[in-house]
Every structure is written in structure tokens, then in C-alpha cells.
């Protein structure tokens, strides 16, 4: 997309879901817009564009981040993971499977953000208590499910990995 | 021939068939759509609540590189009609209509009102250019609250009305005066509900494309009502409806908000046609909060007359509702108080009721329908008054309810308002909810806690949820929409089924539940049923998804269509196999002889003959396996439920902590318990938001103060407990399979149950609990008020 008057742009290199990309981007382009519109990875969603809803959550260098609060240029050199990189082809990641089994989604708009936050949560706390799951996911808003099944799904995966 | 299906899938715990696509990130919401040469729109919106536009200078914006055009209200005054809700005066005698211009030409009526549209190569440029549009305003005094809107010297939102009253309605049913004369006890209160919002996680948005060769328009919109939107676009833009195709792709939640056609959709469609290029608009969250539709803001002043045994003799209520600047289509922004008045009796037998509704225009965003429409404040009013009555009469809150509820054997029960509640389980659902809590144990724990300076409370909220209203009911409301739903069902040569339906699932799991209903009727596997929705070109005319209508109406349409094709398959199979049709059934993909359970021929074989070898058909049978059905449901189908909230109030901080939340729900025959429970849990979460956190706030000048999700507080995973759910299934005697709608219910009773529980927790202080949301500040000020004026409750 042409950024006519903001000629100031920069070339960045990122690895997204294991694939290298080199792109010239306007310096003010949001990372979320870069991922969605420049790379066409539209599983990452935007619910507020001001850092509250968590719909845009991705993993950047092993940490969950809100891609609406970063500029694309800040991701230069980074390794990113989005929902598109979670499954192995059509073989679901255990969290995806658990979300399905537990009816942890309704409209699905928040789901990508929740999955990425949950990946990060389980990465850091493989055996979270319910309290820790609630706290760990409290930066993601869901307007449909009332959260209970999302929490169950994350608990199910945590339990599986312990057995 | 019209035997019921095999019943294998009805009621089964089936995982949703639509989920893998979502989980693997393959969905397509409207902002995911990219078309060649697509332009982006940003809107210039009013920073003032009430002002005259004296000048608009678009020059600076227009000369910015990348800008394609700037459109103002004056440019389109002659070419685009305003949205306008009109009623037949026979049905709605006192209603004033107003024009909602898609871009206002002269005066702005709320912060966020549409002033101009800027089109550019991309959203960044469009938003920059929107800031370059210079608008001069002459600010007026704003009408910032509903009570001052009624004052004689109030500024006028719509001058031509002469005052700010949009609609008034008055009625008296039964002998209200006598009820109050004979009462042993009268309780009264003034209740206020916050200005809530549906606020789905996906904001509004649309893309429009004009095909120069065919002159056809395609509009993708995040809407719950694709056909209604198409009809509105045709009317407002004066275009032939059959040249417009509306597609509602994946939609990230709606909750009623997206059941309205919007000015922005009209502007975007107009621009695509004028510029002959695809145009996209994606709303940002501030626009959504300030300028989409708000909901549920009312002040209800109510009085209840009771006998000493707790039976209710009569009720009086005045519903005042703050409509905002315009009126939303098709129900109008005056629907909220009418629906509150019409549903307030809930599960109770109330012999006399008089009410007045009054809806006023103010300088705020307009009111639309949002999950429960009117019933949450009706339930809050009724349930608080019952608790207040119980307290005065020294009765238990459960007891006063059981005494007044419609008993099972009294169904079908015709309410004071003339609605027939066909069946229900009001007392049983209340009893079961109390049992789940362990009511007596909780009371004991409450006593003990109080001695330790901790304040626990329990509150009940019971309600009846009218769902799936039929066409006659809408006609009686004066609203020009249908209540029926349509489906086209097609079996192809391979025996697989596709259903095209006019409802729209945006989280409700219709693909799964419709497939369950069809699988049972046609004896096919779940995965052999495809569901097509949300495309006016593919599906028959339908009315979309709102008002808990889809299970009954869409389910009715797809089931009726499947029954028709099943009958045809069996009729033809009977001729071919020479077995009487009533000894045949469809089971596991085949026609089977019931006697001896013998498989005679497979559905694919039979379908192939009917479609591709029609010469072998009996002469009186048409070839093909396509059928379209319009299903008109019974007038209103009523679900019922009781919610019980147990909570603790911290009297130092005003913080309310939910300890338990219980719902016992009766929505008749359940198609899929997973989905029903999901709707309950999600609805309760929204209701908790209404009860404790959410409110759209304006200051005295009508300035909007809650423009981010840091200000408009949606509950998080830390705020919503796991709801404990119980079910009772009392089928409707009138709908197919006895199904009742239930999507809104979860959101209806939390304000009532939570307010009652807070009042119960704080009963040692005599606190008046009459407003939601019960934010910590509000709880503290209620406590303060009680301590300065003890004994007011
Ligand atoms: S879109 Fe990034 S936090 Fe909401
Ligand atoms: S599933 Fe709709 S917002 Fe979470």
C-alpha cells in the first residue's frame, strides 16, 4: 500500500512462523498492520488498537506482545509467531485442540489472541493454578464466552503435559 | 409421513463443526478482505455534542497526496435519503420521527456525529486527511441527561418536534387504584441502569465494490442482518435491490448492535459506486464506543402494592428512556422502555398494572437493541421491588417469589399484557437454583461472616425471556419486519446436503445445530451437511440473527425443509421398492424398511435417480431435490430462568466480589447443551459487566468520556466466575421439537440478582440499591447516603 507523504521508510527483516521476510515499511506502520496487510497473515486481529483487548497478541522473541502497540520497525531482526504458525499443517497444537474440545470460542475474533497468550503462559508456567490462568489471560478480552471454557481448555493442556 | 427424526443428534453434546477453521486462523472477517485498488475511508466526526456547522473547508484535505475525495453532508443531501423510522399511527400513536442524515448537513447532535467522509489510498492517509478537514461550529447548549431533556427551557435536539419527546405511551390494565387502596404494604423506588454497550470485540466495518460491467454492487459488512441491510441500501441510495448483494462474512460478535443498518454502510456503498473502486471502512474502538449505538439507559420509577402474605396486587411504573440524538432502524430508539413495560411482569401473576413510557432525545449516541432489550431493567425493577416487599413483610425473598409465580399447571398463562406464556418451570427453576447454592447453608455462613465484619449477600433474579417473535407480533409493535425465517435445502447427486438459511451465526454455532437438526431428519451424517448463510445472493430472504430467534425460526425453517425432502425421498422410494412409505425411514444414509430394519437403497443412489435419471420417477413427482420453506413461528416463545448471585461486599473499598453464580435455565428442548451452556456463561459475563462495571459516560456538556476500553470496562477472565448451570426442559407445545430461544437470557438477570445480593449484603446498613453498574464508588456513596439518612429503605 502506498504511503505517499510518509516517504520515511525503512527496510526490515523478520522471521515469521519460520519464514524470512524482508520488506520496506513506513516507519510509522504498526506491527499489526504489517503482519495483517503486508504479509497477509490475517489470523491476528485488531479489537481496540490501543493495547487493551489483547486480540492482536503474537509472540515476539519468546514473549507475548500486543502487535498494535509496536511499530513494524521495532520488530526488525525479530522472530515472530502468529496463530498461522501454531498448528503443524492441519494438525492442531494441543491448545487449539483443547479450545475445540471445550467450546472455548464463539465468534472467534478473540481466539487468536487468547491462543498466543496461552502459549506464552504455559511456556512460563507449565503448571498454572486456575488463579494464575485467570490472571495470565486477564489482558485478553472476550465478549462472547465468559471465559470459563477458555480457562478449562488451558487447564486441560496443562494437565495433559503433566501426565 | 411427518414422523419426527430419529432423535440421535437432537440434544447431543456435539463439538462445533465451525471451530477448526477459526482455530487454524482461516476465517475471513471484513477487515481481512483485500481487493485490487481498494481505497479506505475515514470519517470526520463532531467533537461537539450539539452545534451548528457553519463552514466546512476540505481544501487542505483534498490536496493531500493520496486523497481521492472528501464528501460532506451538503454534497449528498439530494442523492442519499436519511435513515428515518416511521410508524403507523394506529399502532404507535405518539411517536415523532427524525431524519438521520448519513452525513449531517447542518447540525451535529452528539460527539461522534458524522460530518464528512475522506477517501484515500489507505487508512493512514485517510485518517491524516480527515484531520485536515476544517469544520467551523457554532456550539449550542447540549441536552446531556434525560430528565433535563423534559424541562420547558431545554435546548431542542430536533427543533421541528417542539420538545424533546420522541415517544410516549400510557396504559392501565386491571384495577390499579383499587390494588393500591387495598394494599397492606407499598414499596417504591427509582431505578437507574447505566448506558451500556454491546461492544463486540470486532468493531463495525464494511467493504463495497461496484462492478462497472454489470452495474452490480457487492457489500461485505460485519452485520447480523444482511437482507435488511440490502433493502435499506436500496431504499436510501435509490437503487434496484436485486443489483445489490450483501455478504456478511465472519462476524466478530454482534449482540444486537449489528442488527441495525448504519449510516456509514450507506456512505461506503455510495462511495464505491461514485468512485468505481472498492472502498473499505474499518471502525476504530473510539468511534465504536462513541458513535455506534449505545443501549439500555433508563430511569424507572415504580411502586408495588402487596398483601401481607406477599402476594402482589398491583404495579405502577414510569419508564423514562434516553434515546440519544437519532433513532435507530428498524425498531427505533424508543423500543427499550416499551419492551421493558411489556415484559416487566416476568414469571409473576400481577393482576393490575399501569405504566407510562417516555423516550426523549438527548445529545448522545443513539440507543439500539442490545441483548435482552428492556428486560434487564424490567427484571431489575421487579426483582428489587419483590425483595423490598419481602423485607417489609418479613418474608424470605424465595418465598415471596414462589407465592407469586405462575404455577406449572397454570400454563398456557396469558399475561396482563396479553402474551401467552405457553409453558415454563418458574418455581422449579428457582427451587433448583437455591438447592445448587445450598441456600440455608449460605444464610448461616452469612450470619457468621457478619459477626466477623464481613458482608456476604445472596440475590435472586427470575425472568421470562420472550424469543423468536413472529410477524404478527412485529406488526402489532408497528415494526415493519418479518418474524418468519427461510431456508433452501438441497440434496445433491452424491446424497450430500446443503442448506441456505437467512439467519446469521456470529458465534452462536448455527452450522452445528442446523446440521444436527437436518442430520436427524434426513438420516445423514453431521459432516454431510453444509450450511450457507450471510449472502443475499445465495440464501432466501431472511431476517438475520437477533432476539434469540434462530434456534426456533431458523431451526424451524431448516427442519421443515428437511422434512419436505425426507417425505419426497420416502414417497419415491416407496414406489421404487414397493414398500409402503410409512414402513420406510431414513437411517444412516439409507432408506430402510422399519420392519426388520432392512436397508433397501442408499440416499446417494436414490438422490441420483431423482436428480439425474428423472425418467424413472413416478409421473406425478417433480425431478430434483431442492426445496425452499418459510417458517412462521408461534407468536412468542418463552424461556424462563432463575439466577442466583452470592457475593461479598468490601465496605471499605466498595468492591463487590462474586463468590458463586448460579443459573437454572429452561429453554425447552435443548439441541446442543454445549452451545446452550456457552450462551449462558457468555450472557452472564455481559450481565455482570452491566451490573458492576460498564457505563458509557458523558459530562454535563455532552462530552463523551469513555472512549477507550480502559474507560468502558468489559469484564475480564479475573472478573467472571464459572457459572453453575442447571437445566429443566419444558418443551414448547408449539415449536418444532419444542425448542425455545435462549441467546439473550444470560444477560438479563445479572443486574437484578447482583443488585439484590448487594442490598442483602448491606442490609445491616439499610442501603438503597437502585442503580447499576454497582461500581466501587457507587457502592461507597450508597453506604454514605445510608449512614447520613438512616432508615430510608
Ligand atoms: S488490538 Fe491490540 S490490544 Fe486490542
Ligand atoms: S469468542 Fe467472540 S470475542 Fe471471544
The ranges assigned to domains in chain B are: 19-27+484-631, 33-140+199-291, 298-471+634-788
The predicted pLDDT at position B789 comes to 72
Chain-chain contact of A110 with B201 (C-beta, under 8 angstroms): yes
Q: What percent of chain B has pLDDT over 70?
A: 99
Do A98 and A151 lie in one domain? The reply is yes
Asked if residue A46 belongs to a domain, the reply is yes
Span B403-425, mean pLDDT?
96
Q: Grid coordinates representing B714?
A: 468489559
Nearest CA to ligand 1 atom 3: A51
pLDDT in tens, A90-113: 899 999 999 999 999 999 999 999
Enumerate residues 579 to 638 of chain B having a beta carbon within 8 A of any beta carbon in chain A: none
B298-471+634-788: same fold as B19-27+484-631?
Answer: yes
Could you give the percent of chain B with pLDDT greater than 90? 96
Q: Is the CB of A48 under 6 A from ligand 2?
A: no
What CATH number is associated with residue A113? 1.10.150.120
How far, rounded to the nearest angstrom, does the alpha carbon of residue B159 sit from its chain's CA centroid?
32
CA of A72 to the centre of ligand 1 (A): 15
Distance A105 CA to ligand 2 centre (A): 6
Res. B1: pLDDT tops 80:
no
With a pLDDT cut of 90, the percent of chain A lying above it is: 91
Nearest to B553 by CA among B677, B300, B732: B732
Ligand 1 proximity of A30 Cβ (cutoff 6 Å): no
Distance A139 CA to ligand 1 centre (A): 10
- Taking a C-beta distance cutoff of 8 angstroms, is the pair B28, B248 a contact? no
* CA of B506 relative to ligand 2 center, distance in Å: 9
Q: Quick one: pLDDT at residue B790?
A: 62
CB pair distance less than 8 Å for B28 and A42 = yes
Q: What is the pLDDT of residue A159?
A: 92
On whether both A122 and A60 belong to a single domain, the answer is: no
- Whole-number Å distance between alpha carbons of B364 and B144: 7
pLDDT of residue A163: 63
For residues A55 and A114, membership in a common domain is answered with no
C-alpha cell at B692: 458492576
Mutate which: B15, B252, B677, B722, vs A, most A CBs within 10 A: B252
CB atoms < 10 A from the CB of B642, how many? Answer: 31
Question: How much is the pTM?
Answer: 0.96
- Chain A residues with CB under 8 Å of B25 CB are 41-43, 82-84, 86, 112
At B500 the three-state DSSP class reads strand
Say if CB A105 and CB B27 are below 8 A apart.
Answer: no
CA dist B732 and B420 (Å) reads: 12
Least CA distance to B510: which residue of chain A? A106
Q: Is the pLDDT score of B641 beyond 80?
A: yes
Q: Answer yes or no: is the C-beta of B66 below 6 A from any ligand 2 atom.
A: no
Residue B253 Cβ < 6 Å to ligand 2? yes
Give SS3 for A142: coil
Q: In which residue are the cell numbers 445465495 written?
A: B538
CB of residue A49 inside a 6 A radius of ligand 1: yes
> A40 contacts in B (CB within 8 Å)?
34
**Domain annotation covers residue A64:** yes
Which residues in chain A are contacts of B714 at CB distance < 8 A? 141, 143
Which cell is B743 given? 441467546
Residues in chain B: 793
Same structural domain, A71 and A132: no
Number of H helices, E strands in chain A: 5, 5
Q: Is A158 in the pocket of ligand 2 (CB under 6 A)?
A: no
* A117 lies in some domain: yes
* DSSP code per residue over B567-587: HHHHHHHHHHHTS-GGGEEEE
Domain B33-140+199-291 is found in CATH 3.90.1170.50: yes
C-alpha cell at A24: 520496506
Ligand located closest to A48 CA: 1
In ligand 1, the atom with minimum distance to the C-alpha of A69 is 2
Residue B727 has pLDDT above 70, yes or no: yes
Q: Is B602 helix (H, G, I), strand (E, B) or coil?
A: strand
Domain assignment of residue A44, yes or no: yes
Residues 6+ apart with CB under 8 A from B410: B349
**CATH classification at residue A62:** 3.10.20.30
| pLDDT for the residue numbered B567 | 97
Cα separation, B742 vs B179, in Å, equals 34
Identity of the residue in B198, B284, B716 whose CB atom sits nearest the CB atom of A49: B284
Query: pLDDT tens string for chain A (163 positions)?
Result: 444 455 589 999 999 999 999 999 999 999 999 999 999 999 999 999 999 999 999 999 999 999 999 999 999 999 999 999 999 988 999 999 999 999 999 999 999 999 999 999 999 999 999 999 999 999 999 999 999 999 999 999 999 887 6
Inter-residue contact B644 to B433 (CB < 8 Å) = yes
Residue B31 has pLDDT above 60, yes or no: yes
Q: Which of B84, B60, B57, B82 is nearest to B72 (CA)?
A: B57
Tell me whether residue A2 is in a domain. no
Of all protein residues, the one whose alpha carbon is nearest to atom 3 of ligand 2 is A142
B210 strand-pairing partners: B217
Give the model's confidence band at B547: pLDDT under 50 very low, under 70 low, under 90 confident, else very high.
confident
Last residue of a domain, one of A57, A85, A113: A85
Cβ distance B29 to A109 less than 8 Å, yes or no, reads yes
Is A48 part of any domain?
yes
Q: Looking at chain A, which residue has its C-alpha nearest residue B39?
A: A1
Whether the predicted pLDDT of B248 surpasses 70: yes
Best mutation site among B23, B201, B506, B685 for ligand 2 pocket (most ligand atoms within 8 Å of CB): B201
DSSP collapsed to 3 states, A33-53 = HHHHHHCCCCCCCCCCCCCCC
Nearest CA-CA partner of B677 in A152, A26, A54: A152
Q: Is the dihedral of CA B63, B68, B72, B75 positive or negative?
A: positive
Domain count across chain A: 2
Q: Would you say the CB of residue B612 lies under 6 angstroms from ligand 2?
A: no
Does residue B6 have a pLDDT over 50? Answer: no
> Does B19-27+484-631 carry CATH code 3.20.80.10?
no
**pLDDT at B4 (0 to 100):** 38
Interface with A, mutate which of B201, B657, B743 (most A CBs under 10 A): B201
Q: What is the pLDDT of residues B498-540, one digit of tens each?
A: 999 999 999 999 999 999 999 999 999 999 999 999 999 999 9
What is the total residue count of chain A? 163
Calpha distance A95→A122 (Å, rounded) = 10
- How many CB atoms lie under 10 A from the CB of residue B206? 30
Per-residue confidence (pLDDT) for residue A3, from 0 to 100:
45
Residues in chain A with CB shorter than 8 Å from the CB of B201 are 45, 47, 53, 55, 107, 109-110, 141-144
Listed residues A85, A104, A134: the one ending a domain? A85
Query: What's the angle, vertex CA B553, arms to CA B547 and CA B559, rounded to 5?
Result: 150
Chain A residue with Cα closest to B15: A101
Domain that holds residue A77: 9-85
A55, A103, A151 member nearest B717 (Cβ): A151
Q: In this structure, are A64 and A98 located in the same domain?
A: no
Q: What is the pLDDT of residues B553-590, one digit of tens each?
A: 999 999 999 999 999 999 999 999 999 999 999 999 99
Residues A66 and A111 placed together within one structural domain of the fold: no
Closest partner residue to B717 (CB to CB) among A42, A108, A137 is A137
A98 & A135 share domain: yes
pLDDT by residue (tens digit) across B312-361? 999 999 999 999 999 999 999 999 999 999 999 999 999 999 999 999 99
Domain-located, residue A57: yes
Question: What are the residues facing A79 on neighbouring strands?
Answer: A15
Q: Quick one: DSSP state of residue B420?
A: E
Is domain B298-471+634-788 in CATH 3.50.50.60, yes or no? no
Chain B interface test: which of A83, A130, A148, A152 (most B C-beta within 10 Å): A148
Residues B256-276 pLDDT 10s: 999 999 999 999 999 999 999
Amino acid at each position: 500500500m502506498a504511503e505517499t507523504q510518509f516517504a520515511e521508510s525503512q527496510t526490515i527483516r523478520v522471521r515469521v512462523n519460520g519464514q524470512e521476510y524482508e520488506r520496506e515499511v513506513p516507519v510509522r506502520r504498526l506491527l499489526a498492520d504489517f503482519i495483517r496487510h503486508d504479509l497477509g497473515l490475517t489470523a491476528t486481529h485488531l479489537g481496540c488498537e490501543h493495547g487493551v483487548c489483547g486480540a492482536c497478541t503474537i509472540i515476539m522473541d519468546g514473549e507475548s506482545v500486543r502487535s498494535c502497540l509496536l511499530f513494524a520497525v521495532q520488530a526488525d531482526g525479530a522472530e515472530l509467531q502468529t496463530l498461522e504458525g501454531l498448528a503443524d499443517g492441519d494438525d492442531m497444537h494441543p491448545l487449539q485442540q483443547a479450545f475445540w474440545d471445550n467450546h472455548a470460542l464463539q465468534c472467534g475474533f478473540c481466539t487468536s489472541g487468547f491462543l498466543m497468550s496461552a502459549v506464552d503462559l504455559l511456556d512460563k508456567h507449565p503448571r498454572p493454578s486456575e488463579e494464575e490462568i485467570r490472571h495470565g489471560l486477564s489482558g485478553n478480552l472476550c465478549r462472547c464466552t465468559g471465559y470459563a471454557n477458555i480457562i478449562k481448555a488451558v487447564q486441560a493442556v496443562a494437565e495433559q503435559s503433566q501426565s | 409421513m411427518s414422523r419426527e427424526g430419529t432423535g440421535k443428534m437432537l440434544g447431543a453434546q456435539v463439538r462445533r463443526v465451525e471451530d477448526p477453521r477459526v482455530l487454524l486462523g482461516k476465517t475471513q472477517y471484513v477487515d481481512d478482505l483485500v481487493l485490487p485498488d481498494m481505497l479506505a475511508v475515514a470519517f470526520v466526526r463532531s467533537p461537539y455534542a450539539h452545534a451548528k456547522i457553519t463552514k466546512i473547508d476540505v481544501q487542505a484535505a483534498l490536496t493531500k497526496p493520496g486523497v481521492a475525495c472528501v464528501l460532506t453532508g451538503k454534497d449528498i443531501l439530494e442523492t442519499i435519503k436519511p435513515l428515518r423510522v416511521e410508524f403507523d399511527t394506529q399502532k404507535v400513536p405518539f411517536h415523532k420521527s427524525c431524519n438521520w442524515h448519513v452525513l449531517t448537513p447542518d447540525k451535529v447532535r452528539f460527539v461522534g456525529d458524522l460530518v464528512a467522509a475522506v477517501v484515500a489510498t489507505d487508512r493512514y492517509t485517510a485518517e491524516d486527511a480527515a484531520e485536515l478537514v476544517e469544520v467551523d461550529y457554532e456550539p449550542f447548549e447540549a441536552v446531556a441527561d434525560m430528565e433535563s431533556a423534559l424541562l420547558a427551557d431545554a435546548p431542542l435536539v430536533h427543533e421541528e418536534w417542539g420538545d424533546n419527546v420522541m415517544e410516549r405511551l400510557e396504559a392501565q390494565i386491571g384495577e390499579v387504584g383499587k390494588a393500591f387502596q387495598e394494599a397492606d404494604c407499598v414499596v417504591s423506588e427509582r431505578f437507574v441502569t447505566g448506558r451500556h454497550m454491546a461492544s463486540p470485540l470486532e468493531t463495525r466495518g464494511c467493504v463495497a465494490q461496484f462492478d462497472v460491467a454489470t452495474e452490480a454492487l457487492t457489500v461485505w459488512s460485519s452485520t447480523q442482518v444482511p437482507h435488511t441491510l440490502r433493502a435499506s441500501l436500496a431504499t436510501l441510495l435509490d437503487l434496484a435491490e436485486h443489483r445489490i448483494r450483501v455478504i456478511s462474512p465472519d462476524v466478530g460478535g454482534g449482540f444486537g448492535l449489528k442488527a441495525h443498518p448504519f449510516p456509514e454502510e450507506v456512505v461506503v456503498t455510495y462511495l464505491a459506486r461514485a468512485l468505481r473502486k472498492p472502498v473499505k471502512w474499518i471502525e476504530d474502538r473510539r468511534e465504536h464506543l462513541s458513535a455506534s449505538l449505545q443501549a439500555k439507559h433508563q430511569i424507572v420509577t415504580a411502586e408495588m402494592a402487596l398483601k401481607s402474605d406477599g402476594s402482589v396486587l398491583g404495579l405502577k411504573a414510569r419508564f423514562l428512556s434516553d434515546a440519544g440524538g437519532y433513532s435507530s432502524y428498524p425498531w427505533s430508539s424508543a423500543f427499550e422502555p416499551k419492551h421493558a413495560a411489556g415484559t416487566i411482569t416476568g414469571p409473576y401473576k400481577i393482576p393490575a398494572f399501569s405504566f407510562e413510557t417516555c423516550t426523549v432525545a438527548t445529545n448522545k449516541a443513539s440507543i439500539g437493541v442490545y441483548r435482552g432489550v428492556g428486560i434487564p431493567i424490567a427484571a431489575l425493577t421487579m426483582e428489587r421491588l419483590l425483595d423490598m416487599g419481602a423485607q417489609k413483610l418479613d418474608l424470605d425473598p424465595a418465598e415471596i417469589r414462589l407465592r407469586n409465580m405462575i404455577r406449572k399447571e397454570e400454563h398456557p398463562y396469558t399475561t396482563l399484557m396479553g402474551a401467552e406464556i405457553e409453558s415454563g418451570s418458574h418455581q422449579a427453576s428457582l427451587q433448583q437454583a437455591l438447592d445448587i447454592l445450598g441456600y440455608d447453608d449460605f444464610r448461616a455462613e452469612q450470619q457468621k461472616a457478619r459477626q466477623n465484619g464481613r458482608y456476604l449477600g445472596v440475590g435472586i433474579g427470575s425472568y421470562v425471556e420472550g424469543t423468536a417473535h413472529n410477524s404478527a407480533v412485529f406488526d402489532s409493535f408497528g415494526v415493519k419486519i418479518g418474524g418468519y425465517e427461510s431456508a433452501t435445502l438441497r440434496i445433491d447427486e452424491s446424497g450430500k446436503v446443503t442448506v441456505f438459511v437467512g439467519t446469521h451465526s456470529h458465534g452462536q454455532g448455527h452450522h452445528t445445530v442446523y446440521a444436527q437438526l437436518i442430520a436427524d431428519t434426513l438420516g445423514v451424517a453431521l459432516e454431510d451437511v453444509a450450511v450457507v448463510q450471510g449472502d443475499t445472493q445465495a440464501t432466501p430472504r431472511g431476517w438475520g440473527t437477533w432476539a434469540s430467534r434462530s434456534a426456533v425460526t431458523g431451526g424451524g425453517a431448516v427442519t421443515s425443509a428437511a422434512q419436505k425432502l425426507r417425505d419426497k425421498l420416502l414417497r419415491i422410494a416407496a414406489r421404487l421398492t414397493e414398500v409402503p412409505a410409512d414402513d420406510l425411514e431414513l437411517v444412516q444414509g439409507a432408506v430402510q424398511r422399519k420392519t426388520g430394519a432392512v436397508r433397501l437403497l442408499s440416499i446417494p443412489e436414490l438422490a441420483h435417480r431423482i436428480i439425474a435419471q428423472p425418467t424413472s420417477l413416478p409421473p406425478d413427482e417433480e425431478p430434483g431435490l431442492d426445496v425452499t420453506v418459510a417458517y412462521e413461528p408461534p407468536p412468542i416463545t418463552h424461556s424462563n430462568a432463575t439466577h442466583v448471585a452470592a457475593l461479598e461486599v468490601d465496605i471499605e473499598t466498595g468492591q463487590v466480589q462474586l463468590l458463586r453464580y448460579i443459573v437454572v435455565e429452561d429453554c425447552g428442548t435443548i439441541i446442543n447443551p454445549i452451545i446452550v451452556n456457552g450462551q449462558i456463561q457468555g450472557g452472564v459475563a455481559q450481565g455482570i459487566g452491566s451490573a458492576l462495571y460498564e457505563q458509557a459516560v458523558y459530562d454535563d456538556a455532552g462530552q463523551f468520556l469513555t472512549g477507550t476500553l480502559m474507560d468502558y470496562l468489559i469484564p475480564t477472565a479475573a472478573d467472571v466466575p464459572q457459572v453453575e448451570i442447571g437445566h429443566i426442559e419444558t418443551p414448547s407445545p408449539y415449536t418444532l421439537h419444542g425448542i425455545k430461544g435462549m441467546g439473550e437470557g444470560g444477560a438479563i438477570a445479572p443486574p437484578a440478582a447482583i443488585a439484590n445480593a448487594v442490598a442483602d449484603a448491606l442490609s445491616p446498613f439499610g442501603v438503597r440499591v437502585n442503580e447499576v453498574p454497582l461500581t466501587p464508588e457507587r457502592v461507597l456513596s450508597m453506604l454514605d447516603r445510608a449512614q447520613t439518612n438512616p432508615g430510608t429503605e
